[in-house]
A and B are shown apart, each in its own frame.
Chain A
Amino acid sequence: MVTLGHYLIVSGILFAIGFAGVMLRRNLIIIFMSLELMLNAANLSLVAFSRFHLQPGGVPDYNAQVFVFFIITVGAAEVAVGLAIIVALFRARQTTHVEDINTLKF
């Protein structure tokens, strides 16, 4: 049988994959995609808890699903602004590689 722990572990592994992407990759766009993976890993554990914690009528806890809805909306807005920043950066510096952007490096 599939338990709550299985979903939580899958969500944790997905979060770790996204985290490794942020740590390993030096391309801003790939880092951004890894951030999206981490956001979605959090969503998966929220939905799993929503299904696990039934409300009195025997239906899933929809408060968590509303929360996931808000997270997806904020994530989409974040992608739009972030990609616009990347385009502006590319126009100024002709690169999306984080090691080439070292003006603030000590």
Chain B
Amino acid sequence: MSPILFWFFALLMLVFGVAVVVNRNPIASALNLVVSFLGLAALFMSLDAFFIGIIQVLVYAGAVMVLFLFIIMLLDLRAERLRKINWVASAGGVAVALALLIQIFYVIGHFGFSKQTFPPLATSEIDDVHNIGLLLFGNYNLPFQIIGVLVLVATIGAVLLSKRERR
């Protein structure tokens, strides 16, 4: 992938990620998060992970964000916008996040492989759905079934939690 496209999508993702945190309106935050996830999906595809990129668009930009938007509209959160900002607590939060960022930069700067470019692939045809499917149903069959049970439990839990209690 050309460096221009990489920087374009990385900046798109990071700028809209900051907008998610900064925006005071929850609906605007959710829509910014969709754009951020689309940029992330483009970065996945730049790494030749087409299946993961498409899953990212379908699951996150599609299903999860629709769920977020429905909940925001269900709860009618307009009154939240009028609150005062606690500037001392905000400065503390930014300081902790900056300390984390500096640590990450330090670790990546001292990581030997981080200066190397990506090695070329052997073939131009990427057969990643086939390969991931083989691994998923072969090597990782038991975790796959456990994930199925987990999704079932999550579904039942969501239904139970959102049911109204009878008095």
Contact = CB atoms under 8 A, between A and B. Distances in A.
Interface string B155-167: 1011101101000
A59 B105 CA distance: 29
Contacts, number: 238
Interface residues of B, number: 85
Contacts of B33: 33, 36-37
Interface string B30-48: 1001001100100110011
Residue among A36, A47, A50, A60 with the highest chain B CB neighbour number at 10 A: A47
A7 B118 CA distance: 11
Interface string A19-63: 111011111011011101100100110011011101001111011
B75 A30 contact: no
A80 B155 contact: yes
Contacts of A29: 26, 29, 68, 71-72, 75, 77
B6 to A, nearest CB: 5
Interface residues of A, number: 72
Given A5-B108, A17-B14, A80 B158 contact: yes
Given A10-B10, A29-B71, A36 B64 contact: yes
Interface of A: 1-10, 12-21, 23-27, 29-30, 32-34, 36-37, 40, 43-44, 47-48, 50-52, 54, 57-60, 62-63, 65-66, 68-70, 72-81, 83-88, 90-91, 96-97
